[in-house]
Structure 1
Amino acid sequence: MFGLHKSTKKASARQQIAIQGVQDGVLELPGRRYRMIVSVSAVNFELRSEEEQDVIIDTYESFLNSISWPIQILVRTRKITMNAYLAELHAQQQTETVPMYQEQLQRYRVFIRSLIANNTIMTRRFYIVIPYQPTEKVDDSFIREQLLLRADILAKGMARLGMRTYPLDSLAVLELFYSFYSPIQAKTQPLTEQALRMIHQTLVQKEKVS
């Protein structure tokens, strides 16, 4: 993803994942290459009729043919841990004063435990990566403007498919990279907003110096 690779040589995480900086949701890669990552909602294709599926396919094909720049589609599948949710249900049950509601919460907790014991609960998120590489020296505001224009074109194209788009801000971009580069640690030790802001500030400062 975006030149994401691990090196056998000792290097900083920033060097290994080839991030030059992240500012205002714009990701800078080596070689003056820029990216904007957009989260895209899903459409349940399998539940649509055959006619509706054909319309979706034709509309999507038409959108791809209408843009003059490539896009990268990223599907992020992750296993969900339900421990926090079960703990929240248990806390609700302990504070509930109505016996009938207590019993309902208990039954629901048992159901959830049975569900996760026999099934792996997964979440799937979809992203589209928008590229931009200037052919001459331009300022950061112009680069972001060009990416936002492309993001707007993408949003209109996805809206025709019944899908919504949300450009990721700088903190969300860093969190996404963290989940890829340290998947196990991301589950057990998710980054706090304060930690993300510190990382973001470090990248911004290094970008200004370089």
Structure 2
Amino acid sequence: MSWSQSVRIPADVEQPDKIIGSLTARQVAILAGTGTVLYAACTFAADHVPPAVCAAAALPIAIGAVLLAIGHRDGISLDRYLLAAIRYQRSPKHLISSSEDIPMPPAWITANARRPPAPLKLPARGVARDGLIDLGPDGVAAVAEISTVSFALRTPDEQDALVAVFGRWLNSLSGPAQILVRAERVDLSNTIATLQDNARRLPHPALASAALEHAAFLDDVSARHDLLRRQVLLIIREPAVATNGRDAAAARALRRLDEASRVLGSCGLTARLLDARAAGELLASCFDPSAPPLPESDLALPGEVITTGGI
């Protein structure tokens, strides 16, 4: 005889477990710790301070502990929010790209006591020639650009099949993965220049006129609107184990990306691994998303010597 039991799974899979009622372990620790400290303090001062004074002094502390335990702001608990605020106030505000410690400035220029700049520590250490992003002690990350399919234009059966394939891929995940949907600016200057150049070589004047009109239309659209295109990226991250190192993590990341490409390919999606130049261009655009994309000639591959023309 077989039987099944329904289990309610929360939408937020990272939601902490409740151990006492609706309280998590963190909330219980805050409330229990505060209560223990207040009880010990009131017991110690009971012979010297009236109970009413102890209650009046303990009440604001108890209220603050309750707010820290159950309060939230922007989806973050108040205790973590307070710790983040303290960490922000104590952290240096001026960061520079340097891999070494910044020396203290001379005493004769420190008229007002200001915190010296600190090195900017980014999670990405660099891009390897195979296109994988080196995360240092955190391992490597493989980035692939994923095509899209029209879900609304599919029949209900086809929609169910797409959801089933996507769910099968999610259930097969064996490590961290991220789906990033970003919008980036589109530069039509090269397309317009190509249309205008090819229009002169068309065999018929009507074709040349149509090409020039289309180029003028694109020029007008790009001048009056901020053109954007949507890009879907799949990021696979693998930690670097001390015994295997970066090569083993890179092999695992590429294998997981290949498995994702095969599974998602059954619903019409294609995955293209970004090479070193494309991954470097992606990281550069993330620092300034509103800026136009850099030309490929301005991007250097890892290990290339950057030179500049003389005057």
Q: Same fold (TM over 0.5)?
A: yes
Aligned to 1:138: 244
Confirm whether residue 10 of structure 1 aligns to residue 95 of structure 2.
Answer: yes
Count the aligned residue pairs.
193
In structure 2, relative to structure 1, the CA distance for the partners of 1:155 and 1:184 (3 Å cut) is same
Aligned to 1:201: 303
Deviation at 1:56? 0.8
The 5 A counterparts of 1:1-210 are 8-12=93-97, 15-23=120-128, 24-96=130-202, 98-113=204-219, 115-116=221-222, 120-187=226-293, 189-192=294-297, 195-197=299-301, 200-201=302-303
Choose between structure 1 and 2 for higher RCO, CA contacts under 8 A separated by at least 6 residues: 1
Deviations 1:163-204 (A, max 9, x none): 1112222222111101111335543x43426x322xx117xx
Instruction: Output the TM-score relative to the length of structure 1.
Output: 0.77
**Contact 2:144–2:272 (8 Å) recurs in 1:** yes
**Contact 1:175–1:196 (8 Å) recurs in 2:** no
| Amino acid of the structure 1 residue aligned with 2:126 | G
Deviation at 1:130? 0.5
| Amino acid of the structure 2 residue aligned with 1:71 | A
| Amino acid of the structure 1 residue aligned with 2:159 | Q
2: CA distance, partners of 1:165 / 1:12: 33
SS at match of 1:31: helix
Name the % identity: 22
SS at match of 1:35: strand
**Contact 1:21–1:27 (8 Å) recurs in 2:** yes
In structure 2, relative to structure 1, the CA distance for the partners of 1:120 and 1:44 (3 Å cut) is farther
SS at match of 1:201: coil
**Contact 1:78–1:122 (8 Å) recurs in 2:** yes
SS at match of 1:18: coil
Q: Which sections of structure 1, spanning at least 5 residues, go unmatched?
A: 1-6, 203-210
Decide which structure has the larger Cα Rg and report it: 2
SS at match of 1:142: helix
Deviation at 1:28? 1.8
In structure 2, relative to structure 1, the CA distance for the partners of 1:163 and 1:152 (3 Å cut) is same
Would you tell me which structure has more helix in proportion to its own residues?
1
**Contact 2:165–2:264 (8 Å) recurs in 1:** no
2: CA distance, partners of 1:181 / 1:26: 18
Deviation at 1:161? 1.9
**Contact 2:181–2:231 (8 Å) recurs in 1:** yes
1: CA distance, partners of 2:213 / 2:125: 51
2: CA distance, partners of 1:185 / 1:114: 20
Q: CA RMSD in A?
A: 2.8
Instruction: Output the TM-score relative to the length of structure 2.
Output: 0.54
1: CA distance, partners of 2:276 / 2:211: 39
Deviations 1:37-80 (A, max 9, x none): 11111112222122211221122112101222231011121122
**Contact 2:238–2:250 (8 Å) recurs in 1:** no
Deviation at 1:149? 1.4
